[in-house]
């Protein structure tokens, strides 16, 4: 929940929301800077932008928005996020851990993954970001080479969910299952997906992912 804000701070957040929804990149970035200068928490500003993206998603589902509109909104949020990222506040974890993160093969949208990666770094984790359209083999081989304890996979395209089974199978084949944990997130997956594919944890959002990774590390 957004805390009580002064009228000027609320106005900036509302303008930031609108800028993201319409995909105004330069305005979104400028408003993110203004929000910080006014003393608005980066976390509060980020939550407002995530609300904006949920609105964009709803408009897309109603066919009020098209793919280009979604892409523009995503770009606006990404640029504003770059301004906020250094100021995000996540309680540091009292442990060392390394996470390999990426968007699964067939997923070319990286915004959600970028936010999760930033949250993990803010919490003190080492993060190896593989980007988008990452093959199951690349996730596992990178985790092995980097001696990472956790693989975090973003999945937003329904048709690509079955690739998760390949990640689990490769971990089994390399005898890494149990030593390398897996966590998933994104609109195409859920708690049920974990049960179906043998994934260790599901995260609802970036902050939940920090919590889940911390829990997975405690179990090692």
Please write the tens of the pLDDT for every residue from 5-55.
788 889 999 999 999 999 999 999 999 999 999 999 998 998 899 888 888
Owning domain of residue 164: 98-218
Are 139 and 200 members of one domain? yes
Q: What are the start-end ranges of the H helices in 62-135?
A: 67-84, 111-122
Which has more pLDDT, 141 or 61?
Answer: 141
Are 83 and 144 members of one domain? no
Q: How far is CA 184 from CA 10, 90, 170, 192, 212, in A?
A: 33, 20, 16, 11, 10
| Span 55-99, pLDDT tens digits | 887 887 788 988 788 888 888 988 998 999 889 876 655 557 999
Whether residue 126 lies inside any domain: the answer is yes
**φ/ψ (deg, to 5) at 86:** -65, -15
Burial 30-42 (b: 16+ CB within 10 A, else e): bbbebbbeeebbb
Are 68 and 17 members of one domain? yes
pLDDT for 180 beyond 80: yes
Q: What is the pTM of this model?
A: 0.72
Average pLDDT across the chain, whole number: 90
Last residue of a domain, one of 87, 119, 137: 87
Are 103 and 211 members of one domain? yes
């Amino acid at each position: 929940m957004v805390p009580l804000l002064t009228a000027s701070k609320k106005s900036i957040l509302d303008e930031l929301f609108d800028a993201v929804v319409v995909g105004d990149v330069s305005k979104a970035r400028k408003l993110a800077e203004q929000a910080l200068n006014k003393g608005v928490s980066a976390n509060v500003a980020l939550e407002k932008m995530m609300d904006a993206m949920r609105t964009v998603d709803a408009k897309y589902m109603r066919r009020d928005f098209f793919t280009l509109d979604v892409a523009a909104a995503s770009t606006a949020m990404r640029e504003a996020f770059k301004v906020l990222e250094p100021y995000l506040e996540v309680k540091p974890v009292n442990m060392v851990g390394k996470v390999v993160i990426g968007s699964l093969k067939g997923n070319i949208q990286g915004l959600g993954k970028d936010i999760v990666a930033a949250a993990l770094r803010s919490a003190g984790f080492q993060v190896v970001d593989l980007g988008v359209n990452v093959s199951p083999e690349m996730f596992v081989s990178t985790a092995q080479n980097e001696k990472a304890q956790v693989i975090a996979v973003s999945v937003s395209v329904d048709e690509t969910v079955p690739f998760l089974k390949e990640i689990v199978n490769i971990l089994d084949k390399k005898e890494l299952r149990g030593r390398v944990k897996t966590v998933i997130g994104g609109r195409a997956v859920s708690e049920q997906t974990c049960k179906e594919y043998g994934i260790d944890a599901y995260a609802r959002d970036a902050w939940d992912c920090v919590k889940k990774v911390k829990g997975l590390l405690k179990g090692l």
